[in-house]
Amino acid sequence: MSGKIALALYSGGLDSILACRIISDQGIEVKALKFVTPFFDHHLLDVRDVYCAEIRDKYGFEVHLVDLSEGYIDLLHNPAHGFGKNFNPCIDCKILMLTRARQLLSHYQASFLITGEVLGQRPMSQRRDTLRLIERDSGCEDILLRPLCAKRLPPTLPERAGWVDRDCLYGFTGRGRRPQIDLAHRLGITDFPAPAGGCVLTDPNLADRIKRFYAGLFMLEPEQFQADDFRLLLVGRQLRLPGGHWLILGRNERENDKIRAFAGEDDWLLHMPTRPGPTALMRRAGQLLSATANEAEALALAAGLVVRYGKKTGDQRAAGEVLLEQADGQRLLSDVAPLSDTIFQPWIV
Ligand code: SF4
């Protein structure tokens, strides 16, 4: 062992697994950082210990989850290097992750950083000039080693100082996956995830919803945005009620549970106590609606939607009771009629 420690940016994909293994096979301790935000991998925070143990058992290195939500939510307002095809700010995303990783070097007593990037693999964020820009803007020049394509790039400090043997690094380029898959087999790595986008910012539909959210879709001030807003934005049916109020309806029990789990102090929850159906959440209604002239109308619409999506009685959508849960108590709304589809269809986001 060289006594050196490397911090890795670990996405969970094959390239980052290989980067970690290449370096740890040189006797360097690798600590992998898995960044999470509401837009990718946030659910891992709920299963942190199980996830970290699984990675250690499968691949032999230690992984640490780092919640990057706060800086990331700000970043999406106006990324300096713009967006990719959807709402994905890939260049600024990498700069943010590397900046955070650099700041964590001393915490982990690490000397340098590694990533699984491959020159030319992605059209925007992995071009040679972009790789250099990312290094520069994150303050990682010379301490960022990319083991999969290092032989195509100038030697970095870890190579020149002899901590890492450059001859045992690789010179992969381009979009092909064959060299990485062959290397995985040579290293005995057989269980690795298929390449798939775990980042919702690259999903055309969800990215568009998030973009509209940033553009002021609901009655929320940008400085109020929190991680749970985006977790809620990605679950269930989304509706913009007249006046801009935000309503979320669960489509099944799992979504109902999630909605309830993400509810804040200021949110109102509605459901039918005597019939199966959606849990609805009116975001920040306590602050935006309580004791206003719009309260009764907005509440009636939300309750009508809960009944509309509730289980039918026979083949009828009959009126029913809806329980409203607020921070300071509960209220039963009786004889709520289902809202007509023609009324609310234009409100669906
Ligand atoms: S796809 Fe998502 S997580 Fe990956 S670099 Fe782009 S914005 Fe970041």
Please answer whether residues 114 and 145 qualify as being in contact, where contact means their C-beta atoms are separated by less than 8 angstroms. Answer: yes
H or E segment and range at residue 231: helix 227-233
65 C-alpha to ligand 1 centroid (Å) = 16
In whole angstroms, give the CA distance from residue 58 to residue 27: 18
321, exposed or middle or buried, with CB in 10 Å at 0-12, 13-18, 19+? middle
pLDDT tens-place string over residues 245-275: 999 999 999 999 999 999 999 999 999 999 9
309 C-alpha to ligand 1 centroid (Å) = 35
Q: Are strands 320-326 and 280-282 parallel, antiparallel or unpaired?
A: unpaired
Which of these, 326, 276, 332, lies nearest to 303 by C-alpha position? 332
In DSSP terms, which residues pair with 239 in a beta bridge? 247, 348
84 C-alpha to ligand 1 centroid (Å) = 9
Pocket perturbation via mutation, ligand 1, pick of 15, 37, 40 by most ligand atoms within 8 A of CB: 40
The confidence score (pLDDT) of residue 1 equals 55
CATH 3.40.50.620 domain locations along the chain: 5-186
Nearest-CA residue for atom 3 of ligand 1: 199
pLDDT tens-place string over residues 154-187: 999 999 999 999 999 999 999 888 999 999 999 9
Report the share of the chain in percent with pLDDT over 90: 85
Pocket perturbation via mutation, ligand 1, pick of 202, 203, 211, 230 by most ligand atoms within 8 A of CB: 202
Nearest-CA residue for atom 4 of ligand 1: 90
pLDDT tens-place string over residues 103-121: 999 999 999 999 999 998 8
Which of these, 38, 100, 58, 87, lies nearest to 258 by C-alpha position? 38
Average pLDDT, the chain: 94
Tell me the one-letter amino acid at 249.
L
* For residue 190, pLDDT beyond 90: no
H or E segment and range at residue 181: helix 178-186
336 C-alpha to ligand 1 centroid (Å) = 44
Please answer whether residues 252 and 292 qualify as being in contact, where contact means their C-beta atoms are separated by less than 8 angstroms. Answer: no
In whole angstroms, give the CA distance from residue 99 to residue 275: 51
Give the pair of three-digit tokens for residue 276.
């199966």
In whole angstroms, give the CA distance from residue 329 to residue 165: 65
Instruction: Give mean pLDDT, residues 188-215.
Output: 89
Residue showing tokens 């290989």 = 18
Nearest-CA residue for atom 5 of ligand 1: 90
In whole angstroms, give the CA distance from residue 321 to residue 334: 5
Q: Would you say domain 5-186 falls under CATH 3.40.50.620?
A: yes
Atom of ligand 1 nearest to the CA of 84: 6
Which of these, 246, 229, 224, 228, lies nearest to 237 by C-alpha position? 246
Q: Could you count the other beta carbons within 10 Å of the beta carbon of residue 83?
A: 17
Tell me the one-letter amino acid at 36.
V
In whole angstroms, give the CA distance from residue 323 to residue 273: 6
314 C-alpha to ligand 1 centroid (Å) = 48
The structure's pTM equals 0.91
pLDDT tens-place string over residues 293-327: 889 999 999 999 999 999 988 888 899 999 999 99
Ligand 1: residues within 6 Å at CB?
40, 88-90, 93-94, 199, 201-202
Pocket perturbation via mutation, ligand 1, pick of 42, 88, 117, 125 by most ligand atoms within 8 A of CB: 88
302 C-alpha to ligand 1 centroid (Å) = 35
